[in-house]
A and B are shown apart, each in its own frame.
Chain A
Amino acid sequence: MAILWSCDSDSPEISYTPTYLQVEQPANFPEIQYNLSNNPVTQEGFDLGKALFYDGKLSANNSIPCAFCHEQAFAFTHHGHTLSHGVNGGIGFRNSQPMQNLAYFSEFMWDGAASHLDLQPIIPLTSELEMGETLSNVVDKLKADTYYQSQFPLAFDDGEINSENILKALSQFMLMMVSSNSKYDKYVRNEEGVTLTEVELQGQNIFENKCSSCHATDLFTDQSYRNTGLPINAKLDDTGRFKVLENPEDLYKFKVPSLRNVEKTFPYMHDGRFATLTAVLNFYDSGMVDNGNVDESLKRSDGSFGISLTENEKVQLIAFLKTFTDNEFLNDTRFAEY
């Protein structure tokens, strides 16, 4: 009877029968921070999140998707841009950060203003300088779209097109973006007989002595906020983490960035002021200024600030940094628009 009944029905219910996906836990990574039990990743949710990521509808003028500033080939940064431009010609005030391995982080943005991955997209989506949209408008636009009308019920049990499910779908897409198959990874995990060259090994030695106290773990960040003594750009006057808590101790502090795919994520620093890795290392060697709150770990024994590096050491370090490039991730079709 029941079967006959449903066959006769003119409007068959779209059934929620998700295919669950596993978020990777690479052996050399810290533990996943995201609470997956609240938002288990499914193929349908991932597909929905990817569609949202590449959809201009999330912006006020329907033409600035998330992917506008986050291009896969550059580890989801905005290729070559120091700062990015958004709707109505607005210019953001920080360099677009890479998107990878976000499952293993607990705070997001250069200043940690988002303390949950689900909530992070609200910042660019609502910023007048970036996507200039409101969540309610996005909900209305998606409700009028036939793809989303059919995809939300496949991705979520309640099938609702609301802010909860939009944000959960975006998280599902982002959680799957794991970059863990660089030359370095294969080397430390003893996979495929991968070895580092002499110069890369020398670079690794310098890195461990001079960089890894902040760029710690195999994510290459201790996820702390530090002031590295960058000369202040008066035009932007970006006080960094100070904006979050208005705590004077946080002045000019920014999140220690992960160095994964760092070869591809140029330009560098929170405002993209350095175009090359050489420029970054030159700054650490001789460009730091005492702006009142520089991290103590960057103080030399003579009281000046900086990390002394010879020209040869810089070359060796850069060779090692390039072993973090993960071409499998950068070319992974699961994350590609087409």
Chain B
Amino acid sequence: MEVRTTSYHLSIIFIQMKITKIFITLLLCATVISCSNDDNMVESLVGQTGDLIVKFDNGVGDQDLIFDVSYDKSSNESYKLTSVKYIVSNIELTKSDGSTFMYPEIENAFIVDEADANNAGEIYITLNDVPAGDYTKISFGVGIDQERFQKGADGQGNLLAEAQEKEMLWSWATGFRFIRLDGVYSDATVTDEALNIHMGSVGTSLDNYREVSLDAPNTVIVREASTPEVHIKADIAKVFDGQTSVLFADGYNQVHTDETTTPVIADNLMGIFMIHHVHNE
């Protein structure tokens, strides 16, 4: 918007210079005036806020994620899930000019729970009072970062209570589960054995928080009267077959606090997200 307006003025300048030098003084005045008009426009955008909806859409490869449906993975293993939850925090939006907006910390942690999905399998997160602007990138953390965790209760509002209600807090210690996948798996030798991926950081001893940065395929236009929807697809298959392919038979059917297996899952988790499309109203 800003760039277009500026080039428009430059072309005016160019044409008018061709006509006559006498107009230069007038032109400068005009430029000054139009510049200040310009500023007014930018200011009105800066003062303006709007909402932004982030939609999380869990899938498995090219299929929708449906509870209790069997999905194949690598090495002839398969799995069925009954719960899929993860924590997304520190959502930050980047404008086309590189400036960023970090959503306020106290509101900036969300539990994305497949059980809360609408019939289309989408879980909505609404960000309120986002500065109006044209955003091209969204980044967020998966889990809870150490800085936030080390504050204890401070600045966390009711997050701990909500996390506990969603069974995203360890019961035997104080820490968050960053992702929780529960279900069963089968392979050539076992059928419907327990599958529980409860990965998080372990106190301050093991940091499994990871950051994700996603480019938007088209600009996310936030205005007071325009609420864009950012549709993020999350490929749960990549939790097991991502950067590293893991085998349930090798112990990845039970991932809790182990310092070898949990970082592998955390790294894989980082790669499950992509922005599929953006709806602008």
The verdict on B206 contacting chain A, using a C-beta distance below 8 Å, is: yes
Q: Which residues of the other chain, B, contact A243 by a CB distance below 8 angstroms?
A: 172-173
Given contacts A114-B173, A167-B160, A247-B259, contact A38 B203 (CB under 8 A): no
Determine whether A39 belongs to the interface, using a CB cutoff of 8 Å to chain B.
yes
Interface string of B253-281 (1 = CB under 8 A from A): 00011110000000000000000000000
A244 and B156 form a contact (CB under 8 A): no
Residues in A whose Cβ lies below 8 Å from that of B35: none
From B161, B165, B172, B205, give the contact of A245 (CB < 8 A): B205
Chain A 154-188, CB within 8 Å of chain B: the 1/0 string?
00000010111111100100000000000000000
- Is A116 part of the binding interface, using a Cβ–Cβ cutoff of 8 Å? yes
The closest CB in chain B to the CB of A133 belongs to B164
Q: In the assembly, what is the distance between CA of A328 and CA of B155, in Å?
A: 35
* Complex CA distance for A122 and B150, rounded to whole angstroms: 15
What residue in chain A is nearest B162 (Cβ atoms)?
A136
- For residue B11, CB closer than 8 A to chain A, the reply is no
Q: Which of A120-138 contact B (CB under 8 A)?
A: 120, 122-123, 126-128, 134-136, 138
Bound Cα distance A246, B256 (Å):
9
Give the chain B neighbours of A166 by CB distance below 8 A: 153
Chain A residue at smallest Cβ distance from B260: A246
* Beta-carbon contact of A162 and B157 below 8 Å: yes
Partner of A163, one of B149, B160, B171, B258: B160
Quick one: closest A residue to B150, CB to CB? Answer: A116
Complexed CA–CA distance, A120 and B170 (Å): 12
Whether B169 is near chain A, meaning CB under 8 Å from some CB there, is: yes
Of B154, B155, B256, which is in contact with the most chain A CB atoms at under 10 Å from its CB? B154
Cβ contacts B124-166/A at 8 Å (1 or 0 each): 0000000000000000000000000111111111111110110
Please determine whether B151 and A38 come into contact, CB atoms closer than 8 angstroms: yes
Checking B149, B161, B175 against A136 with a beta-carbon cut-off of 8 angstroms, the contacting residue is B161
Number of residues on chain A facing chain B (CB within 8 A): 38
- In the bound complex, do residue B259 and residue A246 qualify as a contact, i.e. CB atoms below 8 Å apart? yes
B118 within 8 A of A: no
- Known: A113-B172, A244-B203. Is A119-B164 also a contact (CB below 8 A)? no
Q: Is the CB of A163 within 8 A of B158?
A: yes
A119 touches B161 (CB 8 A): no
Residue A216 at the chain B interface, CB threshold 8 Å: no
Q: Which residue of B lies closest to A165 (CB)?
A: B153
Determine whether B63 belongs to the interface, using a CB cutoff of 8 Å to chain A: no
Option from A114, A138, A164 in Cβ contact (under 8 Å) with B156: A164
Contact B155 A164, beta carbon cutoff 8 Å: yes
A115 at interface, CB cutoff 8 A: yes
Judged by a CB distance under 8 angstroms, whether B6 is at the interface is: no
Complex Cα–Cα for A192 and B200 (A): 52
Residue of B nearest to A107 (CB): B203
- Chain B nearest CB: distance from A270 CB in Å? 15
Contact between B203 and A112, CB atoms less than 8 A apart = yes
Residue B232 at the chain A interface, CB threshold 8 Å? no
Q: List which B244-258 residues lie within 8 A (CB) of chain A.
A: 256-258
Q: Which residue of A lies closest to B160 (CB)?
A: A163
Q: How far, in whole Å, are A316 and B99 apart by their CA atoms in the complex?
A: 69
Give Cα distance in the complex from A252 to B204, angstroms. 20
- The dominant DSSP class at the B interface is loop
Residues of B within 8 A of A109 (CB): 173
Are the C-beta atoms of B174 and A39 separated by less than 8 Å? no
Does any Cβ of A come within 8 Å of B202's Cβ? yes
Partner of A162, one of B158, B171, B203: B158
Given contacts A123-B174, A135-B161, contact A117 B152 (CB under 8 A): yes
Residues of A contacting B152 in the complex (Cβ-Cβ under 8 angstroms): 35, 38-39, 116-119, 167-168, 171
How far apart are the CA atoms of A114 and B160 in the complex, in Å? 14
Q: Return chain B residues, CB-CB under 8 Å to A117.
A: 152
Supposing A244-B203, A244-B205, A246-B257 touch, asked if A114 and B157 sit within 8 A by C-beta, the answer is no
Q: Provided the pairs A116-B174, A126-B171, A245-B206 are in contact, do residues A136 and B165 lie with their beta carbons within 8 angstroms?
A: yes
B154, B160, B170, B172: the one contacting A38 at CB < 8 Å is: B154
- Of all chain A residues, which has the CB nearest B201? A115
Contact of A113 among B160, B165, B173 (CB under 8 A): B173
Cβ of A139 < 8 Å from any Cβ of B?
Answer: yes
Report yes or no: B205 in contact with A135, Cβ–Cβ below 8 A. no
| Chain B contacts with A in 196-239, Cβ cutoff 8 A | 202-206
Asked if B165 and A39 make an inter-chain contact with CB atoms under 8 angstroms apart, the answer reads no
13 A-B pairs, CB-CB below 8 angstroms?
A: A35-B154, A38-B152, A39-B153, A109-B173, A115-B175, A119-B153, A122-B160, A139-B158, A162-B158, A163-B153, A164-B160, A168-B154, A245-B206
- Where the two chains meet, the residues of A that have a C-beta atom closer than 8 Å to any C-beta of B are 35, 38-39, 107, 109, 112-120, 122-123, 126-128, 134-136, 138-139, 160, 162-168, 171, 243-247
17 further contact pairs, Cβ within 8 A, besides A113-B203, A118-B154: A39-B154, A115-B175, A115-B204, A115-B205, A118-B152, A119-B174, A120-B174, A136-B158, A162-B158, A162-B161, A163-B160, A164-B158, A164-B160, A167-B152, A244-B202, A245-B258, A246-B256
Interface, chain B (partner A; CB < 8 A): 149-162, 164-165, 169-175, 202-206, 256-259
10 cross-chain pairs, A with B, having the tightest CB-CB distances, nearest first: A118-B152, A113-B173, A119-B174, A135-B161, A167-B153, A115-B203, A116-B152, A163-B161, A118-B153, A38-B154
